[in-house]
Amino acid sequence: PAPTAGPAPTAGPAATAGPAATPGPAPPTLFYVALDDEYRPLKVYRHELGADRSADVLVYEEPDPGFFVSLEQTESRRYILIRTRNHTTDEYRYIPVTQPTAPPRLLAAREAGVEYEVTHHEDSWIIRTNDGGAPDYRVVTAPVEGRAPGAPRDTWRELVPHRPGRMISSVACLSGYLVRQEIVEAVPTVVIRDLRHGSERELAFDEPVYWTAIEPGFEFQTRWLRFRYSSLSTPERVYEEELDTGRRVLRKEQEIPSGHRRDDYAVQRLYAPAPDGEQVPVSLLRRRDAEPGPETPVFLGGYGAYGIVAGAAFSPHRFSLVDRGFVVGIAHIRGGKDRGTRWYQEGKLGKKPNTFTDFIACAEHLADCGYGRRGRIAIGGGSAGGMLIGAVLNMRPELFGAAVAEVPFVDVLNTMLDETLPLTPPEWPEWGNPIERREDYDLLASYSPYDNVRPQDYPPILVTAGVSDPRVTYWEPAKWVARLRATKTDRNPLLLHTNMSAGHAGPGGRFEHLRELALRFCFLLWIFGYAK
């Protein structure tokens, strides 16, 4: 909750004007984000440690309920960043750490569709942006000082150019080095740039399909880069690599108490032809000693929303299925940025149906390639991935042998029509605004899982919900299950598990989380005849 007292806010143009205060000793200061009555993060406050909370100062308030506010800090530790964004647009303000009472200064004013992220090195901002016709992003620099507040983006100077299909997903600065992560065909790579000389090199790995993520921020004045690495068959490893020499040191490896041999498993990449000719990547994991055939059980997962990349990272839990003969697959469908920003744009708003037809194409291709058969492919997804599951079940129920929908976003049309829900206004750029546009209403009505349940046979389905979920309210999966039970023509199991002490990410605590996983796996093993 926000304090009940304090000075008037410094938002909008007033927050961007005036030079920074004269440097001096900074009091111990805490910046924090407060939520409004609709649970939206819209305000930033400043608190001096030891002072009464009623004296906290409102530093910034976002007037648009479609934009959410967050706080960041540059790796150099020199600037506090106030970020406001929705799914397609960014805006940053900054405060020097040594001058915490200075008003926040605008870095670049928001412009619809322009995304940018900011870090800092010496006297320059380093910015990852899609501005200037760069849907897969480029990296630019801008001077920190000597500019009018909110100076136009034409002062930005290109450092790393845009390359279509090679998406720059993040950047980080260490002293003298810029590290960026790029993604091509759902496989990431890490590029290290020496800012002194402009030379670059990529980190090398020995597997064709894997996942890696840089871990900056522990130190700035360092010659070591920390990153995480794993694949579908390789447990997570934490490495440090010396930036000057390329020398790599393994710092930690995930332990699997029951034992694990990477060479016992095969990892493959297939491409499924979509109805419009696009090639959809599918990552597969199976035991080497279990050749797939028509009776092989398959579990295919997918998400396909918000530009989130479905990374081929390690999960020890999958082996409960794989070691029993399952083939486990990840469908890198449109709606994510697995193949760049175009892949995302081809799976959102008016092109959202591509997400569903891509997933169906992946399932059909696996059957055509001898991985199981139609009717023996289980599918699963959560949240927006649960919407995917609900949509494809309505479209092609006979293709699937079972489905697990975790906290599924299935009452899409009604949710997008209710602007009082905290997440609805920020979600309109992703799904469309059915309140203002009839074409958006008609599109959402055409695929919303709840609204498209029809009298037909459905496979066995397990649905989960969390009673404290602020993102997908528990009544969405409940009413979807009720309509399915009232409408479907089969007698297959349809189970609803509502956790009375869980939110969107499931219950807290390691063992409760494992019990939730066990429930899903036991359901699949039961349906496929592994348990009676």
**Residue 18 CB-half CA count within 13 A:** 12
Determine the Cα angle at 259 with ends 253 and 264, to 5°: 95
**Is the distance from CB of 137 to CB of 170 less than 8 angstroms?**
no
Active-site entry in 87, 260, 504, 513: 504
Torsion, CA 21, CA 23, CA 26, CA 31, rounded to 10: 40
Q: How far apart are CA 230 and CA 270, in angstroms?
A: 19
Percent of the chain that is helix, strand, coil (3-state, to 5)? 20, 35, 45
Over its C-alpha atoms, the chain yields an Rg (Å, rounded) of: 25
Question: Per DSSP, what are the bridge partners of residue 500?
Answer: none
170 is catalytic: no
Q: Roughly how many angstroms between the first and final C-alpha of the chain, as a whole number?
A: 50
Q: How far apart are CA 170 and CA 117, in angstroms?
A: 8
383 is catalytic: yes
CA-nearest of 400, 162, 166 to 300 is 400
162 is catalytic: no
Active-site entry in 383, 411, 440, 448: 383
**C-alpha to C-alpha distances, 101 to 25, 74, 79, 425, nearest whole angstrom:** 11, 18, 12, 32
**Is the distance from CB of 411 to CB of 481 less than 8 angstroms?**
no
Strands (DSSP E) along 114-176, which ranges? 116-121, 124-129, 138-143, 157-160, 167-174
User: Would you say the C-alpha torsion 312, 316, 321, 323 has a positive or negative sign?
Assistant: positive
**Is the distance from CB of 434 to CB of 425 less than 8 angstroms?**
no
* Residue bearing tokens 């990374």: 311
What is the side-by-side order of every strand in the sheet holding 402-406? 265-273, 279-287, 327-331, 298-301, 377-382, 402-406, 461-466, 494-499
**Is the distance from CB of 125 to CB of 142 less than 8 angstroms?**
yes
**Is the distance from CB of 192 to CB of 201 less than 8 angstroms?**
yes
**C-alpha to C-alpha distances, 42 to 32, 38, 320, nearest whole angstrom:** 11, 10, 43
Active site residues: 383, 469, 504
